[in-house]
């Protein structure tokens, strides 16, 4: 049996490389995690239960619970946007040309959630 060696990934791009995935996957992960952070903030600030969010968003409580517990494996970015919209927020995305630091995974600034 071959020896398994742990890999430490310092950036989402390093993780994508280690998993043999395209680096663009890392951009999607970062985008989703920014949306998730804002969703958690909104839920906490508005003191909403998972069931209340689920009803407003038209999805199940178990799905909302999974999402709020950082399980984004089968969650699309558009679902996160729709959930935020159901809570009265809109997502504003800006597209800018990357510089070398952004390409190396050192910044991700193109997203804002407005409420």
**Which pLDDT does position 76 carry in this prediction?**
93
If one counts every other C-beta atom within 10 angstroms of the C-beta of residue 21, the result is: 14
- pTM given for the model: 0.74
Q: What is the DSSP string of the chain?
A: -PPP-----SSHHHHHHHHT--THHHHHHHHHHHHHHHHHHHHHHTT--HHHHHHHHTS-HHHHHHHHTT--TT--HHHHHHHHHHTT-EEEE------HHHHTTS----EEEE-
Q: Which domains does the chain have, with CATH numbers?
A: 12-114 (1.10.260.40)
**Which pLDDT does position 107 carry in this prediction?**
47
pLDDT, tens digit, 9 for 90 and up, residues 14-55: 888 888 988 888 888 889 999 999 999 999 999 999 999 999
Pairing of strands 111-114, 90-93: antiparallel
């Amino acid at each position: 049996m071959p020896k398994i060696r742990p890999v430490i990934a310092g950036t989402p791009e390093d993780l994508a490389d280690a998993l043999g995935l395209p680096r663009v996957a890392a951009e999607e992960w970062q985008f989703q995690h920014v949306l998730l952070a804002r969703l958690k903030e909104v839920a906490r600030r508005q003191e909403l239960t998972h069931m209340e969010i689920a009803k407003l968003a038209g999805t199940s409580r178990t799905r909302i619970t999974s999402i709020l517990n950082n399980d984004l494996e089968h969650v699309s970015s558009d679902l996160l946007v729709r959930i935020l919209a159901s809570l009265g927020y809109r997502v504003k995305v800006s597209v800018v040309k990357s510089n070398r630091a952004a390409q190396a995974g050192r910044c991700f600034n193109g997203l804002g959630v407005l409420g």
